[in-house]
């Protein structure tokens, strides 16, 4: 992912609008319930078989400390490309792709502290409201990826 994205994929979690660099998005899938894997954190919904790969799926609402919601017709799973891996994220709806001009991305203000702030790349002010831009590379730490791999292997009987 480049240091400053030029296009963003926007999506909704509750009333809030989020975005991610378009180059970090592998695919947007219709929601299907992920396969649960035992002994995972609450914010990991399970795994998904996508293009012959096992992809971990985050409940993005739970990961960001938001209230959970039941899947609806417009619920989607965004498959993000992170390094050489894919990570799925359940979102309420995917909205659109928007251009991002140089200098439009502002760093998050100091009020964004705590765990959720770790995932933010910045904020974009738009005429129709604020976009919260995620740094998808930081949605899973290296330790969490290792724990997830071990849990997947154990679930497969390996």
Residue 69: which CATH number?
2.40.50.180
Total structural domains in the chain? 1
pLDDT (tens digit, 9 = 90+) per residue, 74-121?
999 999 998 888 999 999 999 999 999 988 999 877 776 554 567 888
Give the residue numbers spanning the domain of 81.
Answer: 7-155
Residue 2 lies in a domain: no
Query: In whole angstroms, what is the distance from residue 70 CA to residue 45 CA?
Result: 12
For 42, counting Cβ atoms within 10 Å of its Cβ (0-12 exposed, 13-18 middle, 19+ buried), the class is exposed
pLDDT at 154: 66
Residue 102 lies in a domain: yes
Angle at 45 between CA 139 and CA 132, to 5 degrees: 40
Residue 15 lies in a domain: yes
For residue 17, give the 3-state DSSP assignment.
Answer: strand
pLDDT (tens digit, 9 = 90+) per residue, 146-156?
777 776 676 66
pLDDT at 30: 97
Query: In whole angstroms, what is the distance from residue 101 CA to residue 6 CA?
Result: 7
The CB density around residue 121, as the number of other CB atoms within 10 Å, is: 23
pLDDT (tens digit, 9 = 90+) per residue, 45-74?
999 999 998 899 999 999 888 898 999 999
């Amino acid at each position: 992912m480049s240091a400053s994205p030029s296009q963003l994929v926007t999506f909704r979690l509750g009333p809030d609008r989020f975005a991610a660099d378009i180059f970090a998005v592998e695919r947007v899938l219709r929601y299907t319930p992920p396969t649960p894997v035992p002994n995972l954190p609450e914010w990991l919904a399970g795994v998904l078989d996508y293009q012959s790969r096992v992809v971990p799926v985050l409940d993005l609402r739970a990961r960001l400390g938001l209230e959970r919601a039941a899947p609806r017709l417009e619920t989607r799973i965004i498959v993000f490309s992170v390094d050489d891996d894919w990570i799925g994220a359940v979102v309420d709806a995917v909205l659109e792709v928007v251009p991002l001009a140089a200098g439009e991305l502002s760093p998050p203000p100091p009020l964004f502290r705590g765990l959720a702030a770790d995932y933010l790349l910045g904020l974009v002010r738009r005429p129709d409201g604020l976009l919260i831009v995620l740094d998808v590379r930081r949605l899973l730490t290296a330790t969490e990826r290792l724990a997830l791999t071990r849990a997947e292997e154990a679930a497969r009987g390996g």
